[in-house]
Amino acid sequence: MSIVVKEKIGTRTLQRSALSSPTGKRVFDVFDDPPTSDKPLTAMVALRAEGVPKLGDSHPEDRTMTLNSFDVKANTSSNHLQTITCNYAVTGLDGGGTYTALSTGVRGVFMDTWRNNPYPPPVEFPNSVGILTVDIEGDYVDVAGKAVSVAIMQQTLEMRSPFANEPDFGIIRQITNTRNLGEWNGFPEGVLLYLGASASVTNGNIWTTTHKFAADPIYHARQVSAKLSDGKPDLIEIDPPDNAPEGSVATLHAKRVYWVQKFPYLRDFGALGIGNP
């Protein structure tokens, strides 16, 4: 099989707008000439042919743009021809990086709360069990050991991988439900939780993979009150403060409250091959 790669004349484009970053396209015909067998030319073989630009390559007329995705279309009249459209853009955070699309949002997540203004949880817990058996202190807000529900704001993040090949599901499984080891894409260590990825394949072998994350300001740790051997909350009676209104009485509250971390493990998200290093 002899693979020929030819850029189609007149198809190279550059687009600029005052409201968005520049984008560009280049179109290539990739074909087997002459066909050496009845075996069709697949999209993946065409993408890997010598002469087809690679992901991350700069646009020849604007070095600020890099190749971030491909559109591959098989020719209906020949099994030996693939047309590849190369899409260029200024990608990533701060003008650099390796992903083709980024979406983000903010959501409220309710958590059981026994104390306001506690000592913050540590980034890394001292054990893999994820329980820090030191009282978090702070202001009592529970009602006789029963937690109140307080919303914390989480930022959600989805990154689409620029790679058209099959994702490394082994790496994805290893990193799912772990937090970022070291700063990653502007998020401090331990703040970002990797939720896994969704992937689809088209045209035989062209993969689209979207990685999902959630950022939590308290490192995804949660408050848990201590309980007695019978399962009831361990309570303490707190006298009213000196400046309390006349007639105020003592109140019951959870005696001890701990930080619990359901996601104690930190991993290097650089293994995913997306985002800024």
> Is pLDDT of 19 > 70?
no
Residues 27-52: what's their mean pLDDT? 84
pLDDT band for position 36 (50/70/90)? low
Give the model's pLDDT for residue 77. 77
% of residues, the chain, pLDDT over 70? 89
pLDDT band for position 21 (50/70/90)? low
Give the model's pLDDT for residue 94. 40
Tokens of 260: 């619990």
Give the model's pLDDT for residue 52. 93
Distances in whole angstroms, Cα of residue 232 to Cα of each of 34, 226, 240, 252, 256: 80, 9, 24, 13, 13
Find out whether 30 and 61 touch, Cβ atoms under 8 Å: no
pLDDT band for position 38 (50/70/90)? confident
H or E stretch at 113: strand 101-113
Give the model's pLDDT for residue 93. 40
**Dihedral Cα 271, 192, 180, 166, nearest 10 deg:** -10
Tokens of 106: 């903010």
Give the model's pLDDT for residue 86. 92
Give the model's pLDDT for residue 206. 75
In the chain, what are the domain boundaries?
3-90, 102-272
User: Do you know the residue count of the chain?
Assistant: 277
% of residues, the chain, pLDDT over 90? 49
Report the SS3 class of residue 94.
helix
∠ at Cα 30 (27, 35), nearest 5°? 160
Buried b / exposed e across 191-225, counting CB within 10 Å, b at 16+? bbbbeebeeeeeeebbbbbbbbbbbbebbbbbbbb
Give the model's pLDDT for residue 11. 87
Average model confidence (pLDDT) for the chain?
A: 85
Report if pTM > 0.75.
no
Q: What is the pLDDT of residues 126-138, one digit of tens each?
A: 766 667 778 999 9
More confident call, 175 vs 22: 175
